[in-house]
Amino acid sequence: MACTIGLGACATPHPLTRSNEQQQTMTTTVYNRELNTSLLLNGDYDVELHPKNKPDAVTKLRLKQLGLSRRQAALVFTSQTNLDPTYRLRAMRVADSPNWHALGFQENGIGRYQRTDTVGQDLLMEYAAPLPDKQGWLYLVATDEASSRPGTSIRDRSFEMDAEFVTFTFPSVQQGRWPRVVSPIRLANDAFLSRPNGDYLAPLVALAQSRHAPATANDPSINGMLWQMLLQYHAMSGNPDSVEYFQQLSPDHVRLPAPAASAPTRRGVATADTLVAVEAVPEILRRSAAARVVLLNESHSHARHRQLAAELLPGLYQQGFRYLALETLEDSAAASLDPLPLKAGFYTREATYANMIRTAKKLGFTLVAYEAARGNLERELAQATNLHNALRHDPQARVLVYGGGSHVNMLPMKGSKEKKWMAQHLVDLTGWPILSVNQARMSNEARSGLAATPAGTAQVVYQLRKGQRRSPYPENDLVVRNNLNAGQLPLPYFNANNAQLVSLDVRTFKPTATTGRRMVQLYLQPELAVREDIVPIYTHELRPSDDALSLRLVPGRYVYRVLSEKQKEEVRKELVVK
């Protein structure tokens, strides 16, 4: 007798399971005809298409904690990896209309929700996506069993589980059967790692093809991910013009053919007070003299933000700063490797970021990783705690903390008096004097009587109020407009005074119909002698008009690689600068 009532009411499969289908290719697709919904599993999974409609202990506990009626839940399928690590996934149809926000979930794509938690030592991720035709919700519960790899840290397990579910399986849920739309994050990363020493061209090609793929009707977040990856990988490949182009597009306009883009909105300053600007580096160093911590943020797709950080390093070192804390680093152990491997961090793959690190190490800075483990609901507090723990052994520690977005803000998060950003948590933990510098908020256009930021410069902007200079935004001590040009820097050390002007002849490497698009990646030969999986000091996508690349290189031996879209073989040549 078939079970037609709630989850756990009987131990036979729910009628929904009769509609399950499975397709195995490089990935596993599970599709339910009645719900007209499918998803992807990545890796070696054993899928139970007709499970008994009875919850396991984890599922029972989640439903109880969420206050969801078991009578309105039905187990659709279950799956488990047949290799370590052991991941288990339960897929349920929930006929209720839960208030996911009120239950502690965060929106992840329009109308979709996600939450991360733990069950004992096991990691847990939940995901809810609306089913078509008002059939309720597809509710997914994924766990990573700690017992399957007892020697692996929670941090490493969190990163791997995040890649498995947050960037792959969860976004793959969509209406209809196959073919599938793969997460742009996974697509670009796999393309980048298709060569052991990194391929900066392959993600651009893969993402360009994705722009022509049809959008996923019930998951607009796919467009957002595609937009973000277009920004990130064009920045990594040394294409600032492309970064600017995609920034003018909203995520809804990245697909081709695209509707006409609306005019970009501009963020104004909080008030209409008179604005004045001063040169950024001297002003920041003047203010940092009294600080133990300088917090500087970035927009992750702007190499010029990393240039400003690099230009501050010599002056900060003279003031006694000895630590450089980087949000992007996976861990401090990887940060201690020289040269830095490709997988040390995501944003460190970009040449300007990597050269900033090379410059810091040459000056004598010690790198510190402080990012919170994935899934930590108190990320801001965890970041501050990690920083405090990393530096508390040194009573004289002074540190430049470099990260993204709003972590440098000193005021509570909007809409909440209790929730603080990392900067304020760090003040609370340490009592140290902190200088918060925001270079990711104010654009370079003219405003309020202030001329546009001149090319090749960065400025600190103040408001004049009753003759006093104040920050335009009270959550930051200093606000910077950054219009620097990272292409003018000496390589690979930004503070080098012995760089030679080099003209690299690339006429024989111009892209053709036979080669497709082509990319130049330039490396330090001594670093390549240590390991192949390193970040280049320079990347450039070749254009038909390119005859020579003008570079400022310090004396030494270099190797450049020329990669092609349509040819597997790469060109590899040496370059000596005397």
Per the domain annotation, does 269 fall within a domain? no
Which residues span the domain enclosing 62? 15-178
Which of 462, 488, 514 is the last residue before a domain boundary? 488
Q: What is the pLDDT of residue 144?
A: 93
Q: Same domain, yes or no, for 52 and 147? A: yes
Q: Split the chain (578 residues) into runs of 10 and give each run's mean pLDDT.
A: 57 92 78 93 86 90 84 92 86 91 84 89 93 94 88 79 83 76 79 89 90 62 82 94 89 74 48 83 98 97 96 98 95 83 93 97 96 72 95 96 93 75 95 97 89 97 91 96 92 96 98 96 97 96 96 98 93 97
Indicate the pTM of the whole model: 0.71
**Do 192 and 232 form a contact (C-beta atoms < 8 A)?**
no
Q: Same domain, yes or no, for 364 and 473? A: yes
- The count of structural domains within the chain is 4
Comparing C-alpha atoms, which of 61, 46, 52 is closest to residue 7?
Answer: 52
Q: Same domain, yes or no, for 338 and 207? A: no
Which of 133, 156, 178 is the last residue before a domain boundary? 178
Q: Same domain, yes or no, for 391 and 518? A: no
Residue 425: CB partners within 8 Å, gap ≥ 6? 380, 381, 383, 384, 385
Q: Same domain, yes or no, for 297 and 431? A: yes
Per the domain annotation, does 8 fall within a domain? no
Q: Is 267 exposed, middle or buried (0-12, 13-18, 19+ CB in 10 A)?
A: exposed
Q: Same domain, yes or no, for 420 and 474? A: yes
Per the domain annotation, does 48 fall within a domain? yes
Residue 309 Cα distances to 138, 280, 369, 412, 468, angstroms: 45, 11, 17, 25, 27
Q: Same domain, yes or no, for 462 and 544? A: no
Q: State which H helix or E strand residue 160 sits in.
A: helix 154-161
Q: Which two tokens stand for residue 307?
A: 């240039």
Q: Same domain, yes or no, for 427 and 446? A: yes
Which of 207, 224, 253 is the last residue before a domain boundary? 253
> Which tens digit of pLDDT belongs to each residue from 304-328?
999 999 999 999 999 999 999 999 9
Q: Same domain, yes or no, for 513 and 400? A: no
Residue 295 maps to which CATH number?
3.40.50
Give Cα 57 distance to the centre of its chain. 34
**Do 374 and 223 form a contact (C-beta atoms < 8 A)?**
no
**Do 440 and 455 form a contact (C-beta atoms < 8 A)?**
no
Q: Same domain, yes or no, for 446 and 518? A: no
Q: Same domain, yes or no, for 48 and 26? A: yes
Residue 512: CB partners within 8 Å, gap ≥ 6? none
Per the domain annotation, does 261 fall within a domain? no
* Residue 70 three-state SS: helix
What is the Cα gyration radius of the chain?
Answer: 26
Residue 557 maps to which CATH number?
2.60.40
Strands 293-298 and 434-438, sheet pairing: parallel
Q: Which two tokens stand for residue 270?
A: 């909080």
Per the domain annotation, does 289 fall within a domain? yes
d(CA 352, CA 556) in angstroms, rounded, equals 19
Q: Which two tokens stand for residue 496?
A: 């080098």
Q: What is the pLDDT of residue 268?
A: 47
Per the domain annotation, does 438 fall within a domain? yes
Q: Same domain, yes or no, for 304 and 448? A: yes
Per the domain annotation, does 3 fall within a domain? no
Q: What is the pLDDT of residue 181?
A: 57
Q: State which H helix or E strand residue 171 sits in.
A: helix 170-172
Per the domain annotation, does 533 fall within a domain? yes
Q: What is the pLDDT of residue 18?
A: 95
Residue owning tokens 């200079």: 469
